[in-house]
Structure 1
Amino acid sequence: MATAIPPPSAHLGRTQRQQRLLSNFSLAGALTHRQRVIPPKRNSLRSSRLSFSVTSAKTQVNEGEGGRTQQGKNEEEEIESPFTVLSYIRSQYNDIMVVDTPTSRVLLLDETHNVHSILYKEQILTGSYWDESATLPAVIPEGPIAILGLGGGTAAHIMLDMWPSLRLMGWEIDPILIDKARDYFGLSSLEQPNEAGGFLSVHIGDALSPSVSVPGGFAGIVVDLFSDGMVLPQLQETNTWLELEKKLMPQGRIMINCGGSNSDGSKNNRTWRNNSTIVTMSEVFGQLSWKVMATTESENYLALTGPTPDFDFWSKMVPSPLTSHVREWKPCAL
């Protein structure tokens, strides 16, 4: 299902600060299965939090749905993608920029040129770690799911599209960011109950505050907490995970975007021990799984608490585009 994205406003002129934010960001746009995008030379876009390109994302999505055809490979053509800066503002917490391309809308935060949210106009999946959140409901009890680090709401859009009856609760510390997400990323539409009764409730505040809780506990918690391109330092502390574990109902799980590797080792020797967040979690959770989503430019480690799920059961329970994703998880050998 395509994502309903509010139409862009008039083109905004770029200030020097906007230009500096855009100067190192690498974004491919205007993509079909036969097109590969080369970013504009003067204003290339790059993500340091997540090395993300529409080319790699679309390729992953297509391969997950049955593979790319040889004809598609041979007919790829290189095109340039125009983009428009829809909004730029500095808040107490972020430099917030919203960029529109022919095929997507992108949220950039801070001077590290990080991609914190992306929504495609003709597809729901991103081919990146946000998609993994939609595999979580299959292996947790029924109940509310918290998203800690809501951003522009990419994960919430995907989860409610594939699991319409979910009750999501999202926390974001920056109220201006939430305003922009409502204006440009369709967040308001998620706050209204859909036909299946699912919805997102938005909460402004510290996602790691003791007040982030519900009676009976969360069935699941999605953690995506970054600042200045780095995982929040609190996620390197065992006490943080001990407190988050207390917020779960029995058989509840936490799924975490753990960022990149802390090692300069070979990409052929990826292990969960290369990621300090997962190492810290392993000291708290007796059972833990991990996976890495890699592109040619970067990698994202993810972790999942609890017993390693039965992959046959899990793959049957998740929406069909994600069946291959769940088999990439591995237990941490503690």
Structure 2
Amino acid sequence: MAKELVSLHFLPPQFHIPRLPLRPKPPQNPIFPRRRNRTSSNDDGVPSNEVKTIAKFKSRHNYIRVIEVSRRSDHPLAGSRLLLLDTPGNIHSISFLLKTLTDSYFDVFATLPPIIPPGSIGVLGFGAGSTARLILELYPPEYTIHGWEIDPSVIDVGREFFSLSKLERDHKDRIFINIGDALDASVRTGFSGILVDLFSEGSVIKELQDPNVWRGLKSRLRKRGRIMVNVGGRCVEAEDSERDGDLVMVETLKAMSQVFGDKLFVLTLGSGDDSSVALTGDLPDLDAWKKSLPVRELRSFVDMWKPFTEFTLS
């Protein structure tokens, strides 16, 4: 894989990083991801001298870039390393050198274990391992990770640049990575939980707008198992301009609602400009959920869930 890496010789004066669903911020200082039609000088561009490109190459499935944002940057991503995929450069993994949490929707994923039975958690769309790292580092050995990623080059990048190899060594009996179609994912005992983060060409994959796909995933859950899904939103930049982020999100949620009925809830980060996350199953006892979370920073997400029947685009 190393032979495929290409240095980036030129960056524009402002290096923009799309698809950045951040955790809620105080209303007086909101942070929003940049979209293509945003031209204000107050957008979330990062000066090029504060961004370092570590890897840039094309694989069979993706246009892959790995970048670092300087710790000196005055930006929410300061000190982070990012995996960007697809031509628009949507973020598919994020890690910080000095902290575990990511200040993104990956942290929402990390709230799932306390509300599912101990056992296997499927991560469909593994990326470089951001979700796996959070769960393995925050929760006890009763939870194991079974990841699926269609692009072996993405796993190579995770091992080389995102400490995935170390994660595998440190948790060798708890993490299992599979190369292949994530929609074929299964384990013999059934999944306690499934985390879905499947994008292609900058958009939530088309299969997730098909209720039959959700029926198939539901059938692979254990009793009391749940599915949590990054359903995207308007901050997602697709290569196909007709794949509008909001519309794709709504169609995905509608397909899920045909399978899960009123047992479908939605959490939207930011003020509507960021991604939304969906959760299946009965809404848990919120106080008990908060108390069971391993770090207090995750508790802010618990009160943000709304029934899909009350979900509206802002």
Instruction: Please give the range of the TM-score, normalised by the shorter of the 2 chains.
Output: 0.7 to 0.9
Aligned match for 1:314, one of 282, 289, 301: 289
Q: Which amino acid aligns with 2:146?
A: M
**1:173 partnered with 2:173:** no
Secondary structure in 2 aligned to 1:323?
A: helix
Q: Deviations over 1:207-255 (max 9, x none)?
A: 012xx21112000000000011110000000000000001100000000
Which residue number in structure 2 is paired with residue 220 of structure 1? 193
Checking the alignment, whether the CA contact within 8 Å between 1:193 and 1:199 is kept in structure 2 is no
**1:14 partnered with 2:8:** yes
- Residues 205, 273 of structure 1: alpha-carbon distance in 2 compared, 3 angstrom cutoff: closer
Distance 2:24 2:255 in 1: 33
Q: Which amino acid aligns with 2:154?
A: L
Runs (4 or more) in structure 1 with deviation over 6 Å come to 271-274
- What TM-score, normalized to structure 1? 0.73
Secondary structure in 2 aligned to 1:192?
A: helix
Distance 2:82 2:191 in 1: 29
Return 5+ residue gaps in structure 2 as ranges.
30-45, 71-78, 236-245
Q: Deviations over 1:70-97 (max 9, x none)?
A: xxxxxxxxx9562211111110100111
Distance 1:311 1:290 in 2: 15
Distance 2:305 2:192 in 1: 20
Q: Which amino acid aligns with 1:191?
A: E
Aligned match for 2:114, one of 128, 131, 138: 138
- Residues 120, 176 of structure 1: alpha-carbon distance in 2 compared, 3 angstrom cutoff: same
**1:192 partnered with 2:169:** yes
Q: Which amino acid aligns with 2:103?
A: G
Checking the alignment, whether the CA contact within 8 Å between 1:58 and 1:126 is kept in structure 2 is no
Checking the alignment, whether the CA contact within 8 Å between 1:261 and 1:301 is kept in structure 2 is no
Which residue number in structure 1 is paired with residue 80 of structure 2? 104
**1:162 partnered with 2:138:** yes
Distance 2:264 2:156 in 1: 36
Distance 1:133 1:13 in 2: 33
- Residues 281, 97 of structure 1: alpha-carbon distance in 2 compared, 3 angstrom cutoff: same
Distance 2:259 2:161 in 1: 39
Return 5+ residue gaps in structure 1 as ranges.
1-10, 24-41, 64-78, 263-270
Secondary structure in 1 aligned to 2:260?
A: coil
The percent of aligned pairs where both chains have the same amino acid is 39
**1:248 partnered with 2:221:** yes
- Residues 120, 193 of structure 1: alpha-carbon distance in 2 compared, 3 angstrom cutoff: closer
Which residue number in structure 1 is paired with residue 52 of structure 2? 84
Secondary structure in 2 aligned to 1:316?
A: helix
Q: Which amino acid aligns with 2:52?
A: T
Checking the alignment, whether the CA contact within 8 Å between 1:105 and 1:119 is kept in structure 2 is yes
What is the CA-CA distance between 1:173 and the residue it aligns to? 0.2
Distance 1:13 1:259 in 2: 30
Distance 1:291 1:224 in 2: 15
CA RMSD in angstroms comes to 2.7
Distance 1:273 1:238 in 2: 14
What is the CA-CA distance between 1:299 and the residue it aligns to? 1.5
Q: Which amino acid aligns with 2:65?
A: M
Which residue number in structure 2 is paired with residue 76 of structure 1? none
Checking the alignment, whether the CA contact within 8 Å between 2:82 and 2:94 is kept in structure 1 is yes
Checking the alignment, whether the CA contact within 8 Å between 1:51 and 1:295 is kept in structure 2 is no
- Residues 307, 119 of structure 1: alpha-carbon distance in 2 compared, 3 angstrom cutoff: same
Distance 2:113 2:211 in 1: 25
- Residues 291, 272 of structure 1: alpha-carbon distance in 2 compared, 3 angstrom cutoff: farther
Checking the alignment, whether the CA contact within 8 Å between 1:273 and 1:279 is kept in structure 2 is no
Checking the alignment, whether the CA contact within 8 Å between 1:257 and 1:301 is kept in structure 2 is yes
Which residue number in structure 2 is paired with residue 229 of structure 1? 202
Q: Which amino acid aligns with 2:85?
A: L
Q: Deviations over 1:176-227 (max 9, x none)?
A: 1110110000111222244xx8632111000012xx2111200000000001
What is the CA-CA distance between 1:307 and the residue it aligns to? 0.5
- What TM-score, normalized to structure 2? 0.78
Of stretches 230-239 and 94-103 in structure 1, the one that deviates more from structure 2 is 94-103
Q: Which amino acid aligns with 1:153?
A: G
Which residue number in structure 1 is paired with residue 230 of structure 2? 257
Which residue number in structure 1 is paired with residue 20 of structure 2? 51
What is the CA-CA distance between 1:57 and the residue it aligns to? 5.6
